[in-house]
Amino acid sequence: MKLLAALAATVAFSGAAQAADPPGSIYHLDAALTNQAGRPIGLDVYRGHPVVVTMFYASCPAACPLLIDTIRAVERSLDPKTASGLRVLMVSVDPERDTPTALIELAKARRIDLSRWTLATADEATVRKVAALLSIQYRRLPSGEFNHSSVVTVLSRDGEIVRQSSLIGRVDPEIVTALK
């Protein structure tokens, strides 16, 4: 919540979201995203569900595939009812290359369940705002790859940050607890 208050002076927040959501909700951020189908969505695409949100890029050779596997392991560690209600939002840090077509290709290659997972892209300014809210740092390297932190964030049904973890490659028990 302190992070949201600190960013409020520099980030545009949606007036409609402010009336309905708790003060600490990331859904206050006016973030225009585009999903893998090319449709416009907001950060609140899964409002009403617990959400795991993170940032990635589709051509990532190492950390991002591991991030996807980590989220899947979290899903498998949940009871079936909780797992079926969980939603995943992954926002790209590479809007130049991660077009809806590239996101669909990644979903096919990684067998991502697009009924409960959304891969999204946005303009560079929006990507920076989302990264700041999620405490994710990134930068493009001269090779075109990205150096980025790998943070998995659990959101409440109202978009409040419940838990964050930078543990990848295995399930963080605190993330699982936060989702139960």
Are the beta carbons of 25 and 61 closer than 8 angstroms?
Answer: no
User: Would you state the pLDDT for residue 82?
Assistant: 92
Can you give the residue ranges of every domain in the chain? 2-179
Buried b (16+ CB within 10 A) or exposed e, 21-32: beebbbbbbbbe
User: How far, in Å, CA of 85 to CA of 179, rounded?
Assistant: 10
Q: What's the gap between Cα 176 and its chain centre?
A: 17
Could you tell me the two tokens for 139? 């930068």
In the block, residue with structure tokens 């075109």: 144
Residue among 112, 102, 124, 1 at smallest CA distance from 58: 102
The fold for domain 2-179 equals Glutaredoxin (3.40.30)
Could you say which residues of the chain have pLDDT below 50? Answer: 1-18
User: Would you state the pLDDT for residue 1?
Assistant: 42
| pTM score of the predicted model | 0.86
User: Would you state the pLDDT for residue 15?
Assistant: 42
User: Would you state the pLDDT for residue 19?
Assistant: 53
* Residues 107/66/91/36 CA torsion (nearest 10 deg): 0
User: How far, in Å, CA of 86 to CA of 57, rounded?
Assistant: 22
In the block, residue with structure tokens 């695409």: 45
User: Would you state the pLDDT for residue 92?
Assistant: 95
User: Would you state the pLDDT for residue 24?
Assistant: 80
R_g of the chain computed on alpha carbons: 15
| 33-35 vs 117-121, strand pairing mode | antiparallel
Q: Which residues pair with 118 in a beta bridge?
A: 89
Contacts of 6 (CB under 8 A, 6+ apart): none
User: Would you state the pLDDT for residue 22?
Assistant: 74
Name the phi and psi angles at 63, rounded to 5: -65, -40
